[in-house]
A and B are shown apart, each in its own frame.
Chain A
Amino acid sequence: GQQVMQIPQYQHVQEGEDFTTYCNSSTTLSNIQWYKQRPGGHPVFLIQLVKSGEVKKQKRLTFQFGEAKKNSSLHITATQTTDVGTYFCAGRYNQGGKLIFGQGTELSVKP
C-alpha cells in the first residue's frame, strides 16, 4: 500500500549542529509536504514541494524533492533550541488525494 517511510525516528544534537531527516516512498509522489509539531502541539505546515528535483529554503531550513519524486529531505543548519519538535513529511500520490504522513523525526537540541 501507499506508505511514506521517514528516518531517523529520533535525533539528538548539540545546539549549533546540523540536522537532516529523510523520507522515502516506494512509488512516485504527486507532491510532498513538511510539517513541524512542537511537544504538546499540533502539526503546522512548513512547505510543499511539487517539482522533480525541487529545492526550497526557509532561513536555516532546506527542503529537497528527489528527481524521481520518491524521496525528500529536510536539512536544518546550525540548530537552535527553538527547532525542537517532531518533523513530519507527508506524501500525496494523487492531486487532491489523501496525505500520508511519515512516522516523524523527533529532534531534541541540547543547549
Chain B
Amino acid sequence: DAGVIQSPRHEVTEMGQEVTLRCKPISGHDYLFWYRQTMMRGLELLIYFNNNVPIDDSGMPEDRFSAKMPNASFSTLKIQPSEPRDSAVYFCASSFLGGELFFGEGSRLTVL
C-alpha cells in the first residue's frame, strides 16, 4: 500500500511568491492533518480535516495560509504571499477513526 504522498519534497522560492503543497492521504482514512516542523517551534498542528471538512484551523498562523480538501484523496496547503519565516518542513498525515497518524515524507520549504 502506498503511504501518504506529499509533493513537492523540496521547494525553494522567493519571498512574496505563492507556494502550494499537496497531499494524498492513505485511501480509506477519514482524518487529514497538516503539521509544520521547525527547530524553534517543533511540530505544530496547523489544521485538520475529518471527512474532508476542516475541524480545527486554530493553528494556521495567519491569513496568508489556507488549506483545502476538495475530496477524500487530495488536500492542499497554500501560502500566499510567502515569507522567509515560513521556511520549515510541512508534514501531512492521515489517520482512520482518529487512531495512529501516518505521516508523509514532508515538504521542505525554503523562502529566500
Contacts and interface: CB of A to CB of B under 8 A. Distances in A.
Interface stretch (B16-24, B41-49, B68-76): B41-49
Q: How large is the interface on B (under 10, 10 to 19, 20 to 34, 35 or more residues)?
A: 20 to 34
Contact of A99 (B42, B101, B105): B101
Interface of A: 33, 35, 41-45, 48, 88, 90, 92, 95-104
Contact of A97 (B44, B93, B98, B100): B98
Which residue among A35, A43, A97 has the maximum number of chain B CB atoms within 10 Å of its CB?
A: A43
Contacts of B56: 97-98
Contact of B100 (A48, A95, A96, A101): A48
A98 B45 contact: yes
Contact of A101 (B42, B50, B104, B106): B42
